[in-house]
Every structure is written in C-alpha cells, then in structure tokens.
Amino acid sequence: MPFEVFRRHQRKLLAIFAILAMFGFVVSDSLPKLLSSNVSGRDQPVATLYGKTIYHSVINDMAVQRSNANQFVGRLSPYFGPNPFGGLKTRDLVDALILQHEADRLGIPAGPRMGREFLKNVTQDKMNRDTFEALLAGFNNQVSGEQILADIGNQVRLANVRMLLGQPMVTPYDIFRAYRDQNERVAAKIVEVPVDKFLPQVGEPAPQDIQAYYDAYKDALPDPARPTPGFKVPRQIQVEILSIDGNALARGIRDRLSEAELRTAYENRKSEFAQRSQPERGDLPTDLFADQPELTPPVLQSFEEVRSILASTLAEEKAQAEILDKFGKIKDEALIPFADEYQTALGEIEESKKQGTKSKVVLPEPSDLKELARREGLHYDLTPMLSHDEAERYSRISEAEVGLTRLGGGRKFAEEFFDSKTGLYEPVELIDLFGTRYLARKVKDVPPHVPPLDQVRSAVVLAWKMEKARPLAQKAAEHLAEQLKKQGGVVKDSTVEGYRVVTIPPIARRQSNFLPGRFEPEAPQETPVPEVPHAGEAFRTAYFALQPGSVAVAPNQPQTVYYVLTADHREPATFAALYAPNGDEFRYKFMAREQAGRQLVDHWMDWLRQQAGLKPDWVPADEAKGEAAGRRG
C-alpha cells in the first residue's frame, strides 16, 4: 500500500520523488490525465471521430505534446499566458485532434522546422541557441530539443487551422458597443419581491404530487443558480484540522531574541545586506574589476540599519523550523502509522472482493486528534460534512494552499481534498496568506447519493410550493411596477409597500483587464450586480436597458426574487467620447475584433465537430460530471 511502501523505502523514494517532481512541474497539467485515464488497466474509449474510436492513449499523447508546447512558449513572455496553445481538458484535446485532422487534410506542414520558424517570428529573431537551451533545461533532459520543436510546430499549425477563416469584419458600431458595455454606467433602485413571502398563499401538495415532484428531481444535484430543485446529495467530505498561527509564533520568538543572537546572525549573513552601487555618490561599479572582485568590496548596511528586518527574518525562520518539527513529529508518531494501517487493511479488503472471498480484516477506527492538539498547543477543528462549494467557503483554510510557503502556488483546500487521489487519513500540510499553518486529514468521503423521500420530504414540499408561489410574486411585482410608473418611476423611500428597496451604484455591463500583446486576451466579464447574487441574463438585460423614468420587472436567475427596477441615473457613453482625439478607439477596436474573432472561431469549431461526427456542444461524459460536481459540490 502507498504509505507502507513509502515508510519502508523512505530515503530512496524521496530521492526519486525529487527527480520526478522536477519533471512533474513541466507536465503537471497533463499528469492527472495520464494517471487517471487508464485506471482499469484498459485503454478507454473517449469519442468517435470520422467513424473511428478515439482512445485515452491518443488523448494523452496530444496532452503531453500540448503541455510541452505550452510550457516552453509560456516561459518566453507572460503575455502568452499559461496555455498559449489551448487547455488540457478532454474536450480541448478532442478539438485538437479534429484540428489536426483538418490540418492533415489541407496539407499544412508540421515538424521541427515549423517550430523553429514560430520561435524565430515571435522573438523577432532573438531566439538563439543559448536561450533555447536555457528554456529546454527546465525539462530536465526528459524531452529533446527536436521533440520540443516538433511539439510546438504541430500546435502552431493547429492554431493556424483555428484561425483559418481570417479576421472578422468589425464596424464602427461594433467598436462603440464594446466601448459602451464597459463605460456606460447605470445606477438604479430595485424593489425586492421575494417568492417565499407568498408561500402561505399556496396550499399543501397532495401525497401523489410530492412523490411525482421527488421522482422528477431526485437524480439532480442542487444548484443555487437554477430555478428547478435537486434532491440528490452531492459528494461530501469531512476534514480534521490541526493549525497554528505562524505569525503569532514568530512574533513571540522575535520578542525573545537576544542582542547576541542578532549580531551573530548579522555577521553570518553580511553578504545579504550589501547596498546597491550608486555611481552618482562616487561608488565604484561592483563589476569594475570583473576578475578581482576584492578591489571593489560591497558597501554593507550597518547592523542598526538592518536590525529590524533581520529580527523578523530570523524569527520567521525559527518559527518555520519549530512548526516543521512539530508537524513532522505528529505525522511520524500518529498520522502516518494510522494511515499505513488503514490503507493496508483497505487494500486487503479490496483484494478479497476481487478474489470473491470474504475478508476477516476490519478497518481500524481512528481516534480524534483533539487531545493531541491540546497537548501540542495547536488549534483543533473537525469540519461538518462539506460539499465542494461549502469547502471553498469554509473558514480561512478555504484559501490555504498545499505547501510550506505562502503564495507557493499549491492547490487550494477544496481542490486538494476533493481530489479522488487524496486518500482517507493521509496528512496534508497547508499554509494561508496570514501565515497560519495547517496539518489536515480527510476522515470521511461520501459519494453523491439519492436519499429516500422520507429524508427530504420537507425540502420536496418547499420546492413544490416555491414553484407554485412564483406566479404570485411575479403578479405582485408587476402590480407594483404599474404603481411606480404612475409616479414617474421614482423611488424615494427605503421600503415600498413593505418590500425592501436596494440602491445599486453606477455599474457598467462588462469589465475587463486589458493586457495588450497577450496571445489570447481575456474576454470582458459580466460585472457582478451588488446585492443581487445570481442575477442572470433576464435581470441584466432589463437592468442595463433602464432609462430615466422607466420601470421594469425581472427575476434573478434561480427565480427566488422578482425585482421591480427603476432607473436612478445613467452615465452615458457617447460616440464623441470614444472617437475624440484623446479617446480609446484603438483599445476597443482591439476588443471588438477579439470578441468577433472568438465568435467566428466558435462557429468554425462547431462546424468542424459536426464534420467529425460530434454535436457542436459535445462534452465528454466524465468532464460533464466533473463540471457539475465543481459547481454544485
């Protein structure tokens, strides 16, 4: 079993893992697919393209190729983004195979030469052997230079096929519309008419209605952004957590540091406190005598100048070492031995099932870590059963990352513990932005399941009544809208006929972070509407169409609230401002062209999928389930 093997061969495996980690960094995006696609020992089918079955092995080959190209080109410049040639989800890779088929059909050349030409063009002839070898070194001799060039060359031609239809035509109105969406701001007052306020007016459902409603939605997972219910219980986990405030520990250590410790640390680290050479004040350049650095010794900051910084650094290091020792002791003496025992027992039970025999092995029962936490001076927490969405919001650990250093780029709490490869009772260390260190283990992992009607009867009745109450809420909102129209669409009070009034500050329909030169610039995102979670398209369309004096009615996306919308004021965006001498025409022309280009590519890919024998909106079965689990828990 994993932990048993690791403990038995710990030193050898750590050395091997150190090597594998370097390679894993390069292909980290594709490794999950490589490891999980073939768990049954057979090459699983993924899709049928042009009448032929495509297996996971083919998908994985494309994943490795694209990952290599993405990693190499992504390091040339941050403007390329993390995935310059596209994503590594199964649907992305199936699309890549479709594009490859089209490239072959059209006779578009591939190979290392295509890769060389691409690198030459994007670096404006600045790519030389030294630069290439430096980038290639990041692959730790796992991939040859010719292979990297071939991988890049093939991905370039796939990108060329995607753009085969050329640039779309963009009119001045298209540019103005992109400008208006991000610059014309609407402020409004909205009156909330909650649907649940009308529940008392709805009668009780008959037993047959309850059964029919349960049957209709028992296999659906709940989604807070959807008007229809879901009675299936999503996958849930429970996590046991030990934690310590690293910053508080460091502050205590700093207060206890002696002057002698600080001066000793200063003497040992003097080279870290060299001042930058400043020729304007008469300093000699530090590289004036390149072969004799002793002729231009560095100018050091004095002990008094760096005392505060040195104390903080030293205290942080001591706190880090103390936490590592404490967590290491807990893992070695308590967590890992139990995880070994549990995994061994689980393996024996599973092996007996495969052999068709009954195992006498019983899974060991864990003891909670509360007493251990008290003894070691750690904070203890046992989470409730958490869905994925709940785990993403659960206390401060939800923002913690796996690893030992802050902002180290490790996986977040929910992502780590909902990974099926994170086994029960395996200890995981995390750290958050505030310096709190966590030692956590998953103690329960319950798959999605359909509860019997008796367990969810109250939820079924409530959902049925909410559906019946929606027309009543809509009618009340429309009646209120008529009353407000007669008053000129002006709302002055904090409530109207007992309904709460919310003031929305001026907001534009869309917002974006403009980064010129990006390989694939990000599309503008819908601006969140304050006080209206899950606003939805119906609400947004009504809101941003408001004019002074107008009144509209629209629900939020899950249809739990109907809103009466009245314009407060509008900050218009005009043609004159966009096309003024100091206007931003170029920026929005670029955005409009990018948006139109994305739409053109989407239509082109839809057509290519149909030619391959797929529906335009095809999504792999496992990916669809994964997306649903990510959204709903």
Q: What is the mean predicted confidence (pLDDT) over 106-122?
A: 89
Torsion sign (Cα): 587, 591, 594, 596: negative
pLDDT beyond 50 at 17: no
pLDDT at 138: 77
Q: Are 250 and 462 in contact (CB under 8 A)?
A: no
Instruction: Copy the structure tokens of residue 550.
Output: 């107008």
CA angle at 206 for the pair 204 and 208, rounded to the nearest 5°: 150
pLDDT per residue over 55-64, tens digit each?
Answer: 988 988 998 9
pLDDT for 415-445, tens place per residue?
A: 999 988 889 999 999 999 888 999 999 999 9
Band of residue 277 on the pLDDT scale cut at 50, 70, 90 = low
- Identity at 76, one-letter amino acid code: L
Q: pLDDT > 90: what percent of the chain?
A: 48
pLDDT at 44: 80
> If you ran DSSP here, which 8-state letter would residue 233 be given?
B
Q: For position 73, what pLDDT does the model report? A: 87
Enumerate residues 6+ apart whose C-beta is below 8 A from 21: none
Instruction: Report the alpha-carbon distance of residue 244 to residue 275 in Å, rounded.
Output: 36
* Nearest alpha carbon to residue 224 among 346, 83, 389, 378: 389
In whole angstroms, give the CA distance from residue 187 to residue 544. Answer: 9
Classify residue 609 by burial, with Cβ atoms within 10 Å: 0-12, 13-18, 19+: buried
- The answer, yes or no, to whether residue 555 has pLDDT greater than 90, is yes
Report in angstroms the alpha-carbon separations of 52 from 10, 483, 613, 614. Answer: 46, 63, 10, 12
Number of CB atoms found within 10 A of residue 577's CB: 14
Residue 154 has a pLDDT of 93
With H, G, I as helix, E, B as strand and everything else as coil, classify residue 8.
Answer: helix
Do the Cβ atoms of 161 and 579 come closer than 8 Å? no
Tens of pLDDT, residues 25-41: 434 444 443 444 443 34
Q: What is the pLDDT of residues 124-146, one digit of tens each?
A: 888 888 888 888 887 777 888 89
Percent of the chain beyond pLDDT 70? 85
Helix, strand, or coil here: 296? coil
Contact 507, 527 (CB under 8 A): yes
Report the pLDDT value the prediction gives residue 467, as an integer from 0 to 100: 96
Nearest to 59, CA basis, from 44, 78, 75, 39: 44
First to last CA, the chain: 29
Whose structure tokens read 């969406």?
A: 181
Residues 6+ apart with CB under 8 A from 513: 522
pLDDT in tens, 169-198: 888 888 888 889 999 999 999 999 999 999
pLDDT of residue 106: 92
Higher pLDDT, 59 or 512: 59
The one-letter amino acid code at 631 reads: R
Task: Using the structure block, give the residue that is written with the tokens 């095809």.
Answer: 618
Residue 483, helix vs strand vs coil: helix
Averaged pLDDT for residues 12-17: 41
pLDDT of residue 280: 53
**Contact (Cβ atoms closer than 8 angstroms) between residue 424 and residue 398:** no
Cα 560 to the chain's mean position, in Å? 28
What does the pLDDT look like over 376-430, one tens digit per residue? 999 999 999 999 999 999 999 999 999 877 777 788 999 999 988 889 999 999 9
Residue 629 has pLDDT above 60, yes or no: no
The whole model's pTM is what?
A: 0.65
Torsion of CA 202, 207, 208, 210, to 10 degrees: 60
DSSP character at residue 332: I
- Where is pLDDT greater, at 500 or 492? 500
HSE, side-chain direction, 13 A CA sphere, residue 599: 9
538 pLDDT exceeds 70? Answer: yes
Average pLDDT over residues 266-280: 67
pLDDT-derived band at 356, boundaries 50, 70, 90: confident
- Tell me: pLDDT of 92 over 60: yes
**Which of helix, strand or coil describes residue 392?**
coil
| CA-atom Rg of the chain in angstroms | 31
What is the Cα–Cα distance from 507 to 82, expressed in whole angstroms?
30
| Cα four-point dihedral sign 502, 507, 512, 514 | negative
pLDDT tens digit sequence for 522-531: 678 899 999 9
Model confidence band, residue 338 (pLDDT cutoffs 50, 70, 90)? very high
Specify the pLDDT at position 204.
95
| 212-253 residue pLDDT tens | 999 999 999 999 999 999 999 999 999 999 999 998 998 998
619 contact partners, CB below 8 Å, separation of at least 6: 91, 627
Q: Tell me which of 174 and 290 has the higher pLDDT.
A: 174
* Strands lying side by side in the sheet with 551-555: 495-496, 499-508, 185-194, 561-571, 551-555
Domain boundaries along the sequence of the chain = 8-164, 185-205+458-571, 237-446
d(CA 1, CA 424): 13
The predicted pLDDT at position 11 comes to 40
CB 538 within 8 A of CB 102: no
At 25, which amino acid appears? F
Q: What is the reported pLDDT for 559?
A: 97
305 pLDDT higher than 50:
yes
